[in-house]
Amino acid sequence: MTRIKKKGTSGAAKNYITRTRAVKKLQISLPDFRRLCIFKGIYPREPRNKKKVSKGSTAATTFYYTKDIQYLLHEPLLNKFREHKAVAKKIGRALGRGEIGDAARLEKTHIPKIKLDHIIKERYPTFIDALRDLDDALSMLCLFANLPSTPHVPPKTIALCQRLCHEFEHYVIVSHSLRKSFLSIKGIYYQATIQGQDIMWLVPYRFVQRTGGDIDFRIMGTFVEFYTTLLGFVNFRLYTSIGLVYPPKFNAKSDEDGGELGAFQLEGKVVPREDKPTTNDDAPQAITSAEAQAEADKVAALAISEQEKEDETSTALVKADSEENTEAIDTFETTAQDADILPQPQASSSEIASLFAPFTIYLSRETPRAPLEFILKAFGCKRVGWDGILGDGAFTTNESDPAITHQIVDRPALPSESLPQVPDVAETETRGAAPPKAQWPRSTMPGRTYVQPQWVWDCINQAKLLRPDLYAPGAELPPHLNPWVKPKKGQYDPNVPLEEQELEGEAEAFEDDEEEIEGKVSDVEEVQPTKDGALAGVEAIIDRDSSVEAGEGMDVAGSESESSNSDSVSDQEAGGDEWEGFDSEPESEISDTEAARRQHQRELEAEATGSAVQLAATTTKSKNAEIRKKAEKKRKQEQEEKERLKMMLPRRKRKLLERIEYGANKRDKEAEVLRKKRRRIENAKRAAEAV
C-alpha cells in the first residue's frame, strides 16, 4: 500500500518560500537580507497559484525560489554581515559606557570591509554580459553624481560616482564609441556602441535636486555600491583593451576648479623597443608615454600633410572637371508612391568620428558645458573653449580668439536699443585705452558661425553637418526628434514637407473647413447681445451645424410624426451620397462640359453683380470642391474594391485583416490631426509674415 502524500511537501509549495522563512533560515536581519539579494541578483517571484503555495491563505506575501535561498546559504558575505553585527554591538556597549575612544577604535579597526569582486565574477562570467547590464549602472551612477551631499548621500559616494562616470566618458571619447544622443524632459540620453553592444544611459540635467523623504536611500545606496564595483571592473577592462593605464592620473586641483573631464590625464602603457634586441643581462628598453606620444604626433603630422596634398590635388581635379561632381554618399529613391522605403547608405564610422575635427568651437556661458564638451570631443573636436568662469581645462578662454570657427550660443538676439552704450573708438584712443572687443550679441566676429546647441545634437544624430543658418541665434529651430524612433509608412513625419504627406484633396478640404469656421465666427461677432447678456442667434448656429451630441434632448416629449421625420432626415443625411432628391442630378452623371457650363454661368452672374471678391472666392471654392469630390470618389472606389476582395477571404483571415485595418485607420486619423494642426500653424505664420 502506497504512503499517502503529505500536503505542502512537493510541487509549488516546496518550490517557493516566504520572505519571513527565508530570513529565519539565513539568520540575518531583514535589511541585510535585502542587501544580499540585491548583490546576488535575486528577486521576488510570483507563483501561479498563491493558495497552493501559502496553503490556502490569500494574504499578501512575498515569495522567493527555495533554490535561490539555498544558494545564499553558502555566500561568504553572510559571515561579514554577522561580524559587522557583532562589532556594532561592541560599539553600542562602548558608547553606553561613555568610552568614545574605544568606540572610535573599534569602528576604525574592527569593522569588516565588504568586497564584491567574487559576486561580479559570478554574475558576469564574460565581459559581454557585463556590458549588457551596464545601462542601469551608468544611469544610477550619473544620477548620484549630480545629487547634493546629504546625510543619506555622503560626499565620498558622490565623488566616486563622478570619477567613474568621467573615466567611462574618457574611454568613449578616445574610442569614438558614441553614436546618438537625445534631449528629453528627463535628461540627456546617450547611446554608445562598445564591442558590438549598444549601451544607453540617462544623464540628468544639472538643476538643483530636491530629495524627498519618501525615498529609501538604503536600497539605492546598495545598488550604488554594487554598480560602482561593476563599473570599476568594466573601466579597467576597457582601458587596458586600447592600451591605456588604469586608473588615469587625477588632478585634484583642476577638479576643484571645475575641470571635470580635464582633470584626468590619460597615459599609454609602456611599449618595449623592437629595434634593439634584449638580452638576459640588459633590462628591456622601454618608451615612456611622452616619447610614444611624440612619435605618434610626428606620424600624425606626416599623415595630415599627405592628406592635405591629396585634398589639393582632388580639389584641382574637381575644378577642372566640374560636370562630373557626385555626392559622397548615394541616396536610393523609390520609383512608386506606395513602395517600401529603401535603406539608405550611411557614412563610415571614421567619417562620423571626425565630424567636428576641423573646427574650433567656443561655448558661451549660458550653454551646458559638460554635455557639449563630451559630445564634441567624442566626435573628433580637439579644440573646445569656454569662458574661464565655467571651469578649468578649456582650449581657449578668449572669446575674441581668431582661431574660433563656431560659437554656440543660447540666448535670443536682443535689439540694439536694449544694449548698453559703447564708447566710440576715437574717444578710447584719445584716452589711451584699448578699443573694446567685438562680442556677441552686440556684434559678430567675422568668419565665425553662430549656432544654437541643438545643432550639435542634430548633426551627430544624422551623422552629417547640417546647415548652420537653420540654427542661428533667435531662429525657430527644427523639431528635435528621437533618433531611435524611425518614421513608418503612413505616420506623420515632421521632417517631411506637408505637401508630400497630405492625401489627395486633404488641403482643399482643410481650406473649406477653415472658411466655414471663419464664417461662423463672423456671424457670431455680428450678433448683438440682448438685455440679459446672451447672444441671440447662437443656438440657431449650433442647431444648424448639428453640433449637439447624440443622445442629448432624447427625453423631451414629442409626437411620433416628429420622431419619424427626424428619423427620415437622419436616414437622408446618412445616405446623402446615394440620394440627393429628384430635382438634383447625381454627381457622377454630370458631364465635364455641363460642370464647366454651370461654372461659367456662375462666374457671369458674379461678374454682372460687380463683386470681384465674390467671383474669386466662388472660383476657388468651386475648384476645391471639384478636387475634393474627385478624391472622395477615388477613395470610395478603392474602398469598394477592397471590400470585394475582402469578401473572398476566409472568415478567420478576414477578421485578422479587419483588426489590422482598425489599427491602420487609427494611426491615419492621428496623422491627419497632426497634419491639420501643422497646416493651421503654417497658415498663421504666413498671415503674420504678410502683415
- Regarding whether 151 and 84 lie in a shared domain, the answer is no
Q: Which residues of the chain have pLDDT under 70?
A: 1, 8, 270-349, 413-443, 490, 504-593, 595-596, 603, 605-624, 691
Nearest Cα to 43, choosing from 76, 19, 73, 12? Answer: 19
pLDDT for 541: 38
- Regarding whether 214 and 99 lie in a shared domain, the answer is no
pLDDT for 386: 93
CB 403 within 8 A of CB 396: yes
Q: Answer yes or no: is 520 within a domain.
A: no
- Regarding whether 464 and 405 lie in a shared domain, the answer is yes
Q: Answer yes or no: is 54 within a domain.
A: yes
Crossing angle (nearest 10°) for helices 155-175 and 369-378: 30
- Regarding whether 174 and 212 lie in a shared domain, the answer is yes
| Upper half-sphere CA count for residue 458 (Cβ side, 13 Å) | 17
Q: Answer yes or no: is 379 within a domain.
A: yes
- Regarding whether 191 and 155 lie in a shared domain, the answer is yes
What Rg value do the Cα atoms of the chain yield, rounded?
Answer: 37
60: Cα separation from own chain's centroid: 38
Q: Compute the distance between CA of residue 587 and CA of residue 578 in angstroms, rounded to an integer.
A: 10
Q: Answer yes or no: is 514 within a domain.
A: no
User: Hey, what amino acid is at 287?
Assistant: I
Nearest Cα to 471, choosing from 516, 560, 407, 405? Answer: 407
CB 47 within 8 A of CB 12: yes
pLDDT for 14: 84
- Regarding whether 153 and 62 lie in a shared domain, the answer is no
The residue whose grid cell reads 455641363 is 594
The residue whose grid cell reads 557639449 is 372
Q: Compute the distance between CA of residue 499 and CA of residue 451 in angstroms, rounded to an integer.
A: 29
Domain that holds residue 626: 592-647
Q: Compute the distance between CA of residue 629 and CA of residue 394 in angstroms, rounded to an integer.
A: 65
Burial status of residue 369 (CB atoms within 10 A of its CB: 0-12, 13-18, 19 or more): buried
Nearest Cα to 197, choosing from 141, 133, 143? Answer: 133
Q: Compute the distance between CA of residue 271 and CA of residue 288 in angstroms, rounded to an integer.
A: 8
CB 471 within 8 A of CB 477: yes
CATH number at residue 461: 3.40.50.10190
Angle at 404 between CA 318 and CA 440, to 5 degrees: 120
Q: Answer yes or no: is 432 within a domain.
A: no
Using the 8-state DSSP alphabet, how is residue 268 labeled?
B
Q: Answer yes or no: is 216 within a domain.
A: yes
With b for 16 or more beta-carbon neighbours within 10 A and e for fewer, the 235-266 pattern comes to: beebbeeeebebebeeeeebbeebbbbbbbeb
- Regarding whether 77 and 37 lie in a shared domain, the answer is yes
Q: Answer yes or no: is 427 within a domain.
A: no
Crossing angle (nearest 10°) for helices 454-462 and 369-378: 30
341: Cα separation from own chain's centroid: 23
Domain end position, chosen among 207, 237, 265: 265
The terminus-to-terminus CA distance of the chain in angstroms comes to: 101
Q: How many domains does the chain have?
A: 4
Domain end position, chosen among 265, 299, 319: 265
pLDDT for 417: 60
- Regarding whether 105 and 139 lie in a shared domain, the answer is no
Q: Compute the distance between CA of residue 678 and CA of residue 493 in angstroms, rounded to an integer.
A: 11
- Regarding whether 356 and 473 lie in a shared domain, the answer is yes
pLDDT for 673: 84
- Regarding whether 358 and 240 lie in a shared domain, the answer is no
Residues near 251 by Cβ (< 8 Å), separated by ≥ 6? 259, 263, 264, 265
User: Hey, what amino acid is at 82?
Assistant: R
Q: Answer yes or no: is 678 within a domain.
A: no
What are the residues facing 271 on neighbouring strands?
Answer: 287
